[in-house]
Amino acid sequence: MASKTSNQSAVWVLFASCFLWNLCNGMLFVVTPLYAMTLGLSLLDISALVGLPYVATILIRFLGGAIADRFGEHRMLQGCYLFNTLGSLALASATGFGTLLGSSALANLSRSTFWVPAQSMASQLSQDNVGKGLGRLSAANYSGQLLGLSLGGVLSGLLGYFATFVVLNALTLLCALLGLVLPAVRRKPSGRSVWQITMAMGRRLCQAHTWLVISASAAAAVPFALTQSIYPVYMAQLNFPDQWISPAVALRSVGPVLTGLVLGPLITIHRERVLYAVGMTGLGVSVLGMAGSSQLWAVALCIGGLGIAGAVMDLLNQVQAVSISQGSDRSAVMASTGLGWNISPMILPIVLGWLAETEGFQLTFLVTGVFFSVVALGTPLLFRVMR
Protein backbone atom coordinates (compact mmCIF):
# COMPACT_ATOMS: atom_id res chain seq x y z
CA MET A 1 0.00 0.00 0.00
CA ALA A 2 2.85 2.35 0.90
CA SER A 3 4.50 1.56 -2.41
CA LYS A 4 1.30 2.38 -4.31
CA THR A 5 0.90 5.67 -2.43
CA SER A 6 4.53 6.56 -3.13
CA ASN A 7 4.00 5.76 -6.80
CA GLN A 8 0.95 8.04 -6.96
CA SER A 9 2.88 10.86 -5.28
CA ALA A 10 5.65 10.50 -7.85
CA VAL A 11 3.08 10.68 -10.65
CA TRP A 12 1.54 13.90 -9.35
CA VAL A 13 4.93 15.57 -8.79
CA LEU A 14 5.94 14.60 -12.33
CA PHE A 15 2.71 15.86 -13.87
CA ALA A 16 2.82 19.15 -11.91
CA SER A 17 6.40 19.91 -12.92
CA CYS A 18 5.66 18.96 -16.56
CA PHE A 19 2.62 21.24 -16.55
CA LEU A 20 4.71 24.16 -15.29
CA TRP A 21 7.54 23.50 -17.74
CA ASN A 22 5.13 23.48 -20.67
CA LEU A 23 3.40 26.63 -19.42
CA CYS A 24 6.76 28.45 -19.48
CA ASN A 25 7.68 27.04 -22.88
CA GLY A 26 4.29 27.99 -24.24
CA MET A 27 5.00 31.58 -23.27
CA LEU A 28 8.45 31.36 -24.89
CA PHE A 29 6.96 30.00 -28.13
CA VAL A 30 4.86 33.12 -28.65
CA VAL A 31 6.90 35.82 -26.94
CA THR A 32 10.21 35.05 -28.71
CA PRO A 33 9.08 35.69 -32.34
CA LEU A 34 6.87 38.63 -31.34
CA TYR A 35 9.66 40.25 -29.32
CA ALA A 36 12.05 39.61 -32.22
CA MET A 37 9.71 41.54 -34.52
CA THR A 38 9.78 44.55 -32.16
CA LEU A 39 13.60 44.46 -32.39
CA GLY A 40 13.34 44.73 -36.19
CA LEU A 41 14.31 41.17 -37.18
CA SER A 42 13.17 39.82 -40.58
CA LEU A 43 11.08 36.69 -41.17
CA LEU A 44 14.21 34.77 -42.21
CA ASP A 45 16.03 35.93 -39.05
CA ILE A 46 13.12 34.79 -36.88
CA SER A 47 13.01 31.42 -38.68
CA ALA A 48 16.77 31.04 -38.11
CA LEU A 49 16.27 31.76 -34.39
CA VAL A 50 13.88 28.83 -34.26
CA GLY A 51 15.80 26.39 -36.45
CA LEU A 52 19.53 26.92 -35.96
CA PRO A 53 19.80 25.88 -32.26
CA TYR A 54 18.38 22.46 -33.14
CA VAL A 55 21.61 21.52 -34.93
CA ALA A 56 23.37 21.14 -31.57
CA THR A 57 20.40 19.76 -29.65
CA ILE A 58 20.21 16.64 -31.84
CA LEU A 59 23.46 15.44 -30.25
CA ILE A 60 22.29 16.58 -26.82
CA ARG A 61 19.12 14.52 -27.21
CA PHE A 62 21.16 11.32 -27.54
CA LEU A 63 23.49 12.25 -24.70
CA GLY A 64 20.48 13.15 -22.53
CA GLY A 65 18.84 9.79 -23.17
CA ALA A 66 22.04 7.98 -22.25
CA ILE A 67 22.49 10.04 -19.06
CA ALA A 68 18.85 9.40 -18.06
CA ASP A 69 19.30 5.63 -18.47
CA ARG A 70 22.55 5.74 -16.51
CA PHE A 71 21.72 8.14 -13.65
CA GLY A 72 17.93 8.41 -13.67
CA GLU A 73 15.20 10.39 -15.42
CA HIS A 74 14.70 12.70 -12.43
CA ARG A 75 18.29 14.01 -12.70
CA MET A 76 17.84 14.78 -16.38
CA LEU A 77 14.60 16.68 -15.71
CA GLN A 78 16.27 18.75 -13.00
CA GLY A 79 18.90 19.88 -15.51
CA CYS A 80 16.19 20.54 -18.09
CA TYR A 81 14.29 22.85 -15.74
CA LEU A 82 17.50 24.74 -14.96
CA PHE A 83 18.17 25.34 -18.69
CA ASN A 84 14.63 26.68 -19.07
CA THR A 85 15.21 29.19 -16.27
CA LEU A 86 18.46 30.38 -17.85
CA GLY A 87 16.76 30.69 -21.25
CA SER A 88 13.99 32.91 -19.92
CA LEU A 89 16.52 35.11 -18.11
CA ALA A 90 18.52 35.44 -21.35
CA LEU A 91 15.39 36.42 -23.29
CA ALA A 92 14.61 39.19 -20.81
CA SER A 93 18.06 40.73 -21.45
CA ALA A 94 18.15 40.17 -25.25
CA THR A 95 18.85 43.20 -27.46
CA GLY A 96 19.37 41.73 -30.95
CA PHE A 97 19.80 38.61 -33.07
CA GLY A 98 22.88 37.30 -31.23
CA THR A 99 21.41 37.51 -27.74
CA LEU A 100 18.06 36.18 -28.93
CA LEU A 101 19.88 33.24 -30.52
CA GLY A 102 21.55 32.53 -27.17
CA SER A 103 18.17 32.58 -25.41
CA SER A 104 16.67 30.33 -28.07
CA ALA A 105 19.61 27.92 -27.75
CA LEU A 106 19.09 27.57 -23.99
CA ALA A 107 15.34 27.09 -24.43
CA ASN A 108 15.94 24.45 -27.11
CA LEU A 109 18.53 22.77 -24.90
CA SER A 110 15.81 22.47 -22.27
CA ARG A 111 13.32 21.11 -24.82
CA SER A 112 15.79 18.52 -26.09
CA THR A 113 16.27 17.16 -22.55
CA PHE A 114 12.63 17.25 -21.41
CA TRP A 115 10.52 14.89 -23.50
CA VAL A 116 12.56 11.71 -23.26
CA PRO A 117 12.95 11.49 -19.45
CA ALA A 118 9.40 12.77 -18.83
CA GLN A 119 7.81 10.20 -21.16
CA SER A 120 10.10 7.42 -19.95
CA MET A 121 9.28 8.22 -16.33
CA ALA A 122 5.52 8.31 -17.03
CA SER A 123 5.59 5.00 -18.94
CA GLN A 124 7.39 3.27 -16.08
CA LEU A 125 4.95 4.67 -13.50
CA SER A 126 1.93 3.40 -15.48
CA GLN A 127 2.75 -0.22 -16.32
CA ASP A 128 -0.91 -1.35 -16.14
CA ASN A 129 -1.97 0.83 -19.08
CA VAL A 130 0.92 2.61 -20.75
CA GLY A 131 -1.29 4.40 -23.27
CA LYS A 132 -3.48 5.78 -20.49
CA GLY A 133 -0.49 7.00 -18.46
CA LEU A 134 1.16 8.62 -21.47
CA GLY A 135 -2.21 10.13 -22.44
CA ARG A 136 -2.51 11.79 -19.02
CA LEU A 137 1.04 13.09 -19.29
CA SER A 138 0.17 14.47 -22.73
CA ALA A 139 -2.90 16.18 -21.26
CA ALA A 140 -0.76 17.78 -18.53
CA ASN A 141 1.85 18.89 -21.08
CA TYR A 142 -0.59 20.41 -23.54
CA SER A 143 -2.71 22.01 -20.79
CA GLY A 144 0.42 23.83 -19.70
CA GLN A 145 1.20 24.80 -23.28
CA LEU A 146 -2.37 26.02 -23.80
CA LEU A 147 -2.19 28.31 -20.79
CA GLY A 148 1.34 29.45 -21.64
CA LEU A 149 0.57 30.20 -25.29
CA SER A 150 -2.45 32.26 -24.19
CA LEU A 151 -0.59 34.10 -21.44
CA GLY A 152 2.41 34.93 -23.63
CA GLY A 153 0.54 37.03 -26.16
CA VAL A 154 -2.08 38.44 -23.78
CA LEU A 155 0.47 39.64 -21.21
CA SER A 156 2.81 41.12 -23.83
CA GLY A 157 -0.09 42.81 -25.63
CA LEU A 158 -1.75 44.27 -22.53
CA LEU A 159 1.10 44.77 -20.03
CA GLY A 160 4.20 44.95 -22.22
CA TYR A 161 7.28 42.78 -22.42
CA PHE A 162 8.84 43.80 -19.09
CA ALA A 163 5.89 42.50 -17.06
CA THR A 164 5.72 39.39 -19.25
CA PHE A 165 9.40 38.62 -18.59
CA VAL A 166 8.91 39.05 -14.82
CA VAL A 167 6.05 36.51 -14.80
CA LEU A 168 7.95 34.11 -17.08
CA ASN A 169 11.11 34.16 -14.96
CA ALA A 170 9.13 33.61 -11.74
CA LEU A 171 7.35 30.58 -13.23
CA THR A 172 10.55 28.99 -14.57
CA LEU A 173 12.16 29.36 -11.14
CA LEU A 174 9.15 27.70 -9.48
CA CYS A 175 9.38 24.82 -11.94
CA ALA A 176 13.09 24.37 -11.21
CA LEU A 177 12.37 24.22 -7.47
CA LEU A 178 9.63 21.62 -7.97
CA GLY A 179 12.04 19.53 -10.02
CA LEU A 180 14.29 19.16 -6.99
CA VAL A 181 11.71 16.91 -5.27
CA LEU A 182 11.27 14.54 -8.24
CA PRO A 183 11.97 10.98 -7.04
CA ALA A 184 13.88 8.25 -8.85
CA VAL A 185 11.56 5.81 -10.63
CA ARG A 186 13.72 2.73 -10.19
CA ARG A 187 17.35 1.84 -9.69
CA LYS A 188 19.27 1.82 -12.98
CA PRO A 189 21.49 -1.18 -13.86
CA SER A 190 25.14 -0.60 -13.04
CA GLY A 191 28.11 -1.50 -15.18
CA ARG A 192 27.06 0.55 -18.22
CA SER A 193 28.83 3.73 -19.25
CA VAL A 194 27.15 6.68 -20.96
CA TRP A 195 29.31 5.95 -24.00
CA GLN A 196 28.10 2.34 -24.24
CA ILE A 197 24.46 3.41 -24.03
CA THR A 198 25.03 6.12 -26.67
CA MET A 199 26.69 3.63 -29.05
CA ALA A 200 23.71 1.29 -28.65
CA MET A 201 21.44 4.14 -29.76
CA GLY A 202 23.67 4.68 -32.79
CA ARG A 203 23.31 1.02 -33.78
CA ARG A 204 19.53 1.31 -33.49
CA LEU A 205 19.59 4.15 -36.03
CA CYS A 206 20.96 1.71 -38.62
CA GLN A 207 17.63 -0.16 -38.59
CA ALA A 208 14.96 0.84 -41.15
CA HIS A 209 12.14 0.31 -38.64
CA THR A 210 13.67 2.91 -36.33
CA TRP A 211 13.32 5.54 -39.06
CA LEU A 212 9.68 4.62 -39.56
CA VAL A 213 9.10 5.38 -35.88
CA ILE A 214 11.19 8.56 -36.20
CA SER A 215 8.91 9.72 -39.02
CA ALA A 216 6.00 9.58 -36.58
CA SER A 217 7.84 11.81 -34.11
CA ALA A 218 8.77 14.20 -36.94
CA ALA A 219 5.08 14.46 -37.85
CA ALA A 220 4.18 14.95 -34.17
CA ALA A 221 6.55 17.95 -34.04
CA VAL A 222 5.00 19.71 -37.07
CA PRO A 223 2.39 21.72 -35.09
CA PHE A 224 5.13 22.89 -32.75
CA ALA A 225 7.48 23.83 -35.60
CA LEU A 226 4.85 25.78 -37.55
CA THR A 227 3.10 27.60 -34.71
CA GLN A 228 6.33 28.89 -33.19
CA SER A 229 7.71 30.19 -36.50
CA ILE A 230 5.74 31.12 -39.63
CA TYR A 231 2.18 30.94 -38.24
CA PRO A 232 2.49 33.88 -35.80
CA VAL A 233 4.20 35.94 -38.54
CA TYR A 234 1.44 35.03 -41.03
CA MET A 235 -1.21 36.15 -38.55
CA ALA A 236 0.71 39.37 -37.84
CA GLN A 237 0.76 40.11 -41.59
CA LEU A 238 -3.02 39.62 -41.61
CA ASN A 239 -3.09 42.42 -39.00
CA PHE A 240 -4.35 40.22 -36.16
CA PRO A 241 -3.64 41.92 -32.77
CA ASP A 242 -0.98 40.29 -30.56
CA GLN A 243 -3.58 39.47 -27.90
CA TRP A 244 -5.51 37.40 -30.49
CA ILE A 245 -2.49 35.73 -32.11
CA SER A 246 -1.55 34.09 -28.83
CA PRO A 247 -4.94 32.42 -28.10
CA ALA A 248 -5.17 31.32 -31.76
CA VAL A 249 -1.77 29.62 -31.52
CA ALA A 250 -2.82 28.16 -28.17
CA LEU A 251 -5.59 26.20 -29.89
CA ARG A 252 -2.81 23.88 -31.03
CA SER A 253 -2.93 22.47 -27.50
CA VAL A 254 -6.71 22.13 -27.01
CA GLY A 255 -7.07 19.02 -29.19
CA PRO A 256 -4.07 17.22 -27.65
CA VAL A 257 -5.49 17.67 -24.13
CA LEU A 258 -8.72 15.94 -25.15
CA THR A 259 -6.84 13.41 -27.28
CA GLY A 260 -4.61 12.47 -24.36
CA LEU A 261 -7.49 12.02 -21.92
CA VAL A 262 -10.05 10.40 -24.24
CA LEU A 263 -8.05 8.57 -26.90
CA GLY A 264 -4.96 7.66 -24.85
CA PRO A 265 -6.19 4.15 -23.92
CA LEU A 266 -7.07 3.52 -27.59
CA ILE A 267 -3.58 4.30 -28.89
CA THR A 268 -2.11 0.80 -29.15
CA ILE A 269 0.62 -0.77 -31.26
CA HIS A 270 -2.01 -2.99 -32.93
CA ARG A 271 -3.60 0.10 -34.55
CA GLU A 272 -0.23 1.44 -35.68
CA ARG A 273 -0.89 1.66 -39.43
CA VAL A 274 -4.35 3.18 -39.16
CA LEU A 275 -3.21 5.79 -36.65
CA TYR A 276 -0.21 6.71 -38.80
CA ALA A 277 -2.40 7.30 -41.87
CA VAL A 278 -5.02 9.24 -39.88
CA GLY A 279 -2.39 11.50 -38.29
CA MET A 280 -0.65 12.30 -41.58
CA THR A 281 -3.99 13.01 -43.26
CA GLY A 282 -4.94 15.38 -40.45
CA LEU A 283 -1.68 17.30 -40.84
CA GLY A 284 -2.14 17.59 -44.60
CA VAL A 285 -5.74 18.81 -44.44
CA SER A 286 -5.00 21.30 -41.64
CA VAL A 287 -2.05 22.91 -43.46
CA LEU A 288 -3.92 23.00 -46.78
CA GLY A 289 -6.76 24.80 -45.02
CA MET A 290 -4.40 27.61 -44.01
CA ALA A 291 -3.85 28.45 -47.70
CA GLY A 292 -7.40 29.76 -47.97
CA SER A 293 -7.76 31.16 -44.46
CA SER A 294 -7.61 34.90 -43.84
CA GLN A 295 -10.20 35.17 -41.07
CA LEU A 296 -9.33 34.56 -37.43
CA TRP A 297 -11.93 31.79 -36.94
CA ALA A 298 -10.68 29.87 -40.00
CA VAL A 299 -7.03 30.15 -38.96
CA ALA A 300 -7.94 29.04 -35.42
CA LEU A 301 -9.84 26.02 -36.79
CA CYS A 302 -6.85 24.94 -38.89
CA ILE A 303 -4.50 25.29 -35.93
CA GLY A 304 -6.84 23.23 -33.74
CA GLY A 305 -6.96 20.45 -36.34
CA LEU A 306 -3.18 20.57 -36.69
CA GLY A 307 -2.83 20.07 -32.94
CA ILE A 308 -5.14 17.04 -32.87
CA ALA A 309 -3.30 15.35 -35.74
CA GLY A 310 0.07 16.01 -34.09
CA ALA A 311 -1.17 14.60 -30.77
CA VAL A 312 -2.24 11.32 -32.42
CA MET A 313 1.23 10.98 -33.97
CA ASP A 314 2.91 11.89 -30.68
CA LEU A 315 1.10 9.24 -28.64
CA LEU A 316 1.63 6.69 -31.42
CA ASN A 317 5.37 7.42 -31.42
CA GLN A 318 5.60 6.93 -27.65
CA VAL A 319 3.66 3.65 -27.73
CA GLN A 320 5.91 2.44 -30.57
CA ALA A 321 9.00 3.21 -28.47
CA VAL A 322 7.58 1.42 -25.41
CA SER A 323 6.82 -1.68 -27.51
CA ILE A 324 10.49 -2.09 -28.50
CA SER A 325 12.13 -1.26 -25.16
CA GLN A 326 12.50 -2.29 -21.53
CA GLY A 327 12.49 -0.06 -18.45
CA SER A 328 16.31 -0.23 -18.31
CA ASP A 329 16.77 1.24 -21.80
CA ARG A 330 13.50 3.16 -22.18
CA SER A 331 15.08 6.63 -22.26
CA ALA A 332 17.71 5.62 -24.81
CA VAL A 333 15.10 4.10 -27.14
CA MET A 334 12.81 7.11 -26.80
CA ALA A 335 15.76 9.42 -27.50
CA SER A 336 16.54 7.69 -30.79
CA THR A 337 12.97 7.10 -31.98
CA GLY A 338 11.94 10.63 -30.99
CA LEU A 339 14.65 12.22 -33.13
CA GLY A 340 11.94 13.78 -35.31
CA TRP A 341 11.26 16.26 -32.51
CA ASN A 342 14.66 17.75 -33.38
CA ILE A 343 14.51 17.30 -37.14
CA SER A 344 11.17 19.01 -37.84
CA PRO A 345 11.75 22.15 -35.72
CA MET A 346 15.25 22.48 -37.21
CA ILE A 347 14.33 22.11 -40.89
CA LEU A 348 10.71 23.26 -41.31
CA PRO A 349 11.02 26.84 -39.95
CA ILE A 350 14.04 27.61 -42.15
CA VAL A 351 12.76 25.92 -45.33
CA LEU A 352 9.18 27.18 -45.02
CA GLY A 353 10.34 30.60 -43.83
CA TRP A 354 12.48 30.96 -46.95
CA LEU A 355 9.67 29.67 -49.19
CA ALA A 356 7.12 32.03 -47.61
CA GLU A 357 9.44 35.01 -48.00
CA THR A 358 10.21 34.28 -51.66
CA GLU A 359 6.96 32.74 -52.96
CA GLY A 360 4.31 33.76 -50.42
CA PHE A 361 2.42 32.00 -47.65
CA GLN A 362 -0.32 30.46 -49.83
CA LEU A 363 2.09 28.45 -51.98
CA THR A 364 4.02 27.43 -48.86
CA PHE A 365 0.88 26.02 -47.23
CA LEU A 366 -0.20 24.25 -50.43
CA VAL A 367 3.16 22.52 -50.94
CA THR A 368 3.38 21.45 -47.29
CA GLY A 369 -0.20 20.17 -47.13
CA VAL A 370 0.16 18.15 -50.33
CA PHE A 371 3.37 16.57 -49.01
CA PHE A 372 1.69 15.21 -45.86
CA SER A 373 -1.33 14.03 -47.84
CA VAL A 374 0.93 12.03 -50.17
CA VAL A 375 2.71 10.45 -47.18
CA ALA A 376 -0.69 9.44 -45.74
CA LEU A 377 -1.66 7.77 -49.01
CA GLY A 378 1.67 5.94 -49.06
CA THR A 379 1.31 4.49 -45.54
CA PRO A 380 0.84 0.84 -46.68
CA LEU A 381 3.96 1.07 -48.86
CA LEU A 382 6.01 2.73 -46.09
CA PHE A 383 5.18 -0.02 -43.60
CA ARG A 384 5.87 -2.75 -46.15
CA VAL A 385 9.30 -1.36 -47.06
CA MET A 386 10.52 -0.17 -43.64
CA ARG A 387 9.19 -2.94 -41.40
DSSP 47: H
Question: Sorting pLDDT into bands at 50, 70 and 90, what band is 260?
Answer: confident
The answer to whether the CB of 289 falls within 8 A of the CB of 301 is yes
Whether residue 363 is predicted with pLDDT greater than 90 in this model: the reply is: yes
For residue 44, the model assigns a pLDDT of: 78
pLDDT grade for 325, boundaries at 50, 70 and 90: confident
Averaged confidence pLDDT in the chain:
85
Q: 210-256 pLDDT, tens per residue?
A: 899 999 999 999 998 898 788 988 998 898 887 788 778 878 878 78
Cβ neighbours, 10 Å, residue 381:
9
Domain residue extents for the chain: 2-183+193-386
The residue ranking higher by pLDDT, 42 or 376, is: 376
Classified as helix, coil or strand, 189 is coil
Task: State if pTM tops 0.85.
Answer: no
- Radius of gyration over every alpha carbon of the chain, rounded to an integer in angstroms: 20
Written as one letter, the residue type at 247 is P
- Name the most confidently modeled range: 92-106, 198-212, 236-250, 320-334: 92-106
Nearest to 280 by CA among 373, 385, 387: 373
Q: Report the alpha-carbon distance of residue 340 to residue 218 in Å, rounded.
A: 4
Superfamily of domain 2-183+193-386: MFS general substrate transporter like domains (1.20.1250.20)
In this predicted structure, the answer to whether residue 186 has a pLDDT above a threshold of 70 is no
Q: What is the 3-state secondary structure (H, E, C) of 319-364?
A: HHHHHCCCHHHHHHHHHHHCCHHHHHHHHHHHHHHHHHHHHCHHHH
Number of neighbouring beta carbons within 10 Å of residue 56: 15
Residues 184, 1: Cα–Cα separation, whole Å: 18
pLDDT at 2 over 50: no
Residue 260 has φ and ψ, to the nearest 5°, of -65, -40
Q: How far apart are the first and last CA of the chain?
A: 43
* Position 1 confidence tier, pLDDT thresholds 50, 70, 90: very low
* pLDDT exceeds cutoff 50 at 354: yes
Give pLDDT tens digits for 130-182.
777 888 888 898 889 888 877 887 888 888 889 999 999 999 999 999 999 88
